[in-house]
Amino acid sequence: MDKNNTRSGIPKEKFEFADRDSTISEKKFNHKPIGYFRDAWNRFRKNKASIVAAIIILLIVLYALIVPFLGISEEMNLYYAKKGPRMTWLRAFGIADGGVDEAFNDLTYIKLLAIGAAAEDRDGTASVSFAEGQTSEYQPVLESQGYTAQALPGGRYKFTYQARVDSYLQLGFVNMQVTQSEYAKILEWQEESGLQVIYPLIDEKSGYFYSGAPEADKANYWYKTNQRGAPVSVNEETGQVTALSLSTDLRLEDNYLRDANGDPVYHTYTGGGDIHTAAYKVRVLYYNYYQYRTGSEPNYLLGTDSQGYDMALRLAKGIRLSLLVAVFVSVINFMIGGIYGAIEGYYGGLLDLIMERISDILSGVPFIVVATLFQIHLAQKLGPIPGMLFAFVVTGWIGTASRMRSQFYRFKNQEYVMAARTLGARDRRIILKHIFPNTLGTLITSIALVIPGVVFNESMLSFLGIVNLGTAETTSLGTLLSDASSIWTNYPHLMIIPAVVISLMMICFNLFGNGLRDAFNPSLRGVEE
């Protein structure tokens, strides 16, 4: 209506033909034609969630590719297993300080605080007081969070101390066997670096040694204790023993092993070998021993895993394995499923019927059973990974095949196929050149959606212990989770890190796959399979 009015309002002579002389029918388009993939890309680009998902996937892949080449030690360190994240340069900001919140009774709390005093006391003279030890950099307590006292019958109290402790320093001292040559090397390193590794041994036969301590903790009871592990003071002359309690002016009496001159003993010969292989028993401050071994303070950005490997590295390896398996499986499925579905759909009839029954049977076997059978049969000969790959491939292609088949049914009677056939094109040409390109979108989408399924199933199989992928070199996300599953309540980072990564991967791959499907096949938008 409006249009007519304005037109009628303008005098007729003002109108003229725009292109009277030129003919636009012969003109070439001056923009490029938009092909199938270009069109899909244009649509995909508008889907913000999918773009974000694709970027996250890219970052995860980059992480998995780059981290193994950063020179992170692949060594397994049993002493530093299950520890939290710790980065020296991040400690200043209060994050990644290796800290855990723990509760202690008064005896274990004294032991913990005494590590600092013992570490500062380099020559074994017990010259460093308990209070001075608190300021030592080897003192594990990062933050004392107060204590609670619970009244016990008989007028005594049970104290519980809450503290945030550096789990790396908490290990304190460790008794070790080293060879004589290594002992010499450590002494040399001590000279160079000015850090002390070897500390006086403890006199285990003095009668004031806490023999009931856990094996890993024995080297930390360097002071005189009674049989309960409580620090005591011994009067040299009368032999009278008085129990000490936690206070600011606490003075612990050392229980170092001493020779005839009264000097502390740093090593004892425990037997064996010549000058290079003779074994020495020594007591080392593990934190410094670690520096001697690796050349740096313990730096684990994501902590260590349940076996003592660097979590950041294990995670990268896990992601790499999971993704490799997923990509490999989806490519194989793409090929088998594509060919199988194409033959079924194109030829139809009896052939289709028979092939459908075969895939019926295969798809009827529960995946978990297939995976178990392949593991039992093949894992011994080929290793667990090929066994698992076979299991994925045996049943995985069926979905792709049936999608392919329905696509072929849809396209094979279209006019352009008939035209091609009339012109004498062979079956192979029709399948590959005429129908296949039309089904490509569906196929790519189904591949993208296979990946999260494989990642999930892989993690499930390793989690349930059906597949065991954890070795010194390889691990998978599911293995990390499965290792953590029984102990994660004490070490949450063991569970949280792989769980977050695997969830992120699943979400992103699903979003990405959905985006691809919408892009390739806009008519299917919002329809779920």
Partner 1 sequence: MIKYVIKRILLMLFVLFAITTICFMLIRILPREIPQDKVLQQAYRDRWEALGYDEPLMIQFGIYLKNIFTNFDFGTSWYVSPNTPAAEVLLDRLFPTILVNLYSLLLSVPLGLMFGVLAAVKKNKWQDHLISTMVIVFVSVPSYVYAFLVQYFLYFEWGLFPLNVYSLADAGGSWFTFKMFYSMVPAILSLSFGTIAGLCRFTRAELTETLTSEYMLLARTKGLTRWQATVRHALKNAMVPILPMILSGFVGILGGSLIIEQIFSIPGVGQLYIKAINLLDYDLFMMDTIFYTAIGLLSGIVIDLSYGFIDPRIRMGEK
Question: Site residues (CB under 8 A) for partner 1?
Answer: 49, 357, 360-361, 364-366, 368-369, 372-373, 376-377, 452, 456, 459-460, 463-466, 481, 485, 488-489, 492, 495, 499, 502-503, 506-507, 509-511, 514, 526-528
CB nearer to partner 1: pick between 415 and 528: 528
Query: Closest approach of Cβ 96 to partner 1, in Å?
Result: 21
Least separation in angstroms between residue 242's CB and partner 1 is 41
* Strand residues in 266-307 grouped as ranges (E): 267-271, 279-285
For residues 368 and 440, which CB has a smaller minimum distance to partner 1 in the complex?
368
CB nearer to partner 1: give 167 or 459: 459
DSSP structure string for 97-161: B-EEEEEEEHHHHHHHHHHHHHHH-TTSS--S-HHHHTTSTT--EEEEEEEEEEE-TTS-EEEEE
Nearer to partner 1, 357 or 429 (CB): 357
Beta carbon of residue 473, minimum distance to partner 1 (angstroms, whole number): 25
- Comparing CB distances to partner 1, the nearer of 10 and 361 is 361
* CB of 367 vs partner 1, minimal distance in Å: 10
Angle between helices 384-411 and 349-364 (to 10 degrees): 140
* Residue at token pair 């290792």: 483
Q: How far is the CB of 221 from partner 1 (least distance, A)?
A: 31
Residue 234: φ, ψ to 5°: -115, 125
| Least distance to partner 1, CB of residue 311, Å | 17
- Of 239 and 526, nearer to partner 1 (C-beta) is 526
Q: Which residue do the tokens 């903790």 mark?
A: 217
| Residue whose CB is less far from partner 1, 253 or 356 | 356
In the bound complex, what is the minimum distance in angstroms from residue 85's beta carbon to partner 1? 18
96: left (phi over 0), alpha (psi -120 to 50) or beta: left
Question: Please, what is the minimum distance in Å from the beta carbon of residue 142 to partner 1?
Answer: 22
The smaller minimum CB distance to partner 1, of residues 286 and 456, is found at 456
User: CB 492 → partner 1: shortest distance, Å?
Assistant: 8
Nearest distance from residue 328's CB to partner 1, in Å?
A: 21
Closer to partner 1 by CB, 213 or 504: give it. 504
Instruction: Return d(Cα 132, Cα 120) in angstroms, integer.
Output: 9
The DSSP secondary-structure symbol of 263 reads: P
* Spatial contact of 345 and 408, defined as CB atoms under 8 Å apart: yes
Using a CB cutoff of 8 Å and minimum separation of 24, what contacts does 122-130 make?
A: 122/196, 122/199, 123/264, 124/199, 124/200, 124/254, 124/256, 124/263, 124/264, 125/254, 125/264, 126/252, 126/253, 126/254, 126/256, 129/249, 129/251, 130/249, 130/250, 130/251, 130/252
Q: Which is nearer to partner 1, 214 or 526 (CB)?
A: 526
Straight-line distance from the first to the last Cα atom of the chain, in angstroms, rounded to the nearest whole number: 47
SS3 179: strand
DSSP single-letter state for residue 264 = B
Closer to partner 1 at the Cβ: 50 or 255? 50
Q: Least Å distance between CB 353 and partner 1?
A: 11
Three-state secondary structure call for residue 337: helix
Nearest approach in angstroms of CB 405 to partner 1 is 15
Report how far residue 511's alpha carbon sits from residue 451's, in angstroms, rounded to the nearest whole number: 12
CB 169 within 8 A of CB 113: no
* 366 vs 437 by CB, closer to partner 1: 366
Contacts of 325 (CB under 8 A, 6+ apart): 385, 388, 389, 392, 454, 458, 476
Asked whether 221 and 313 are in contact (CB, 8 A), the reply is: no
Q: Which residue has the tokens 């969830």?
A: 503
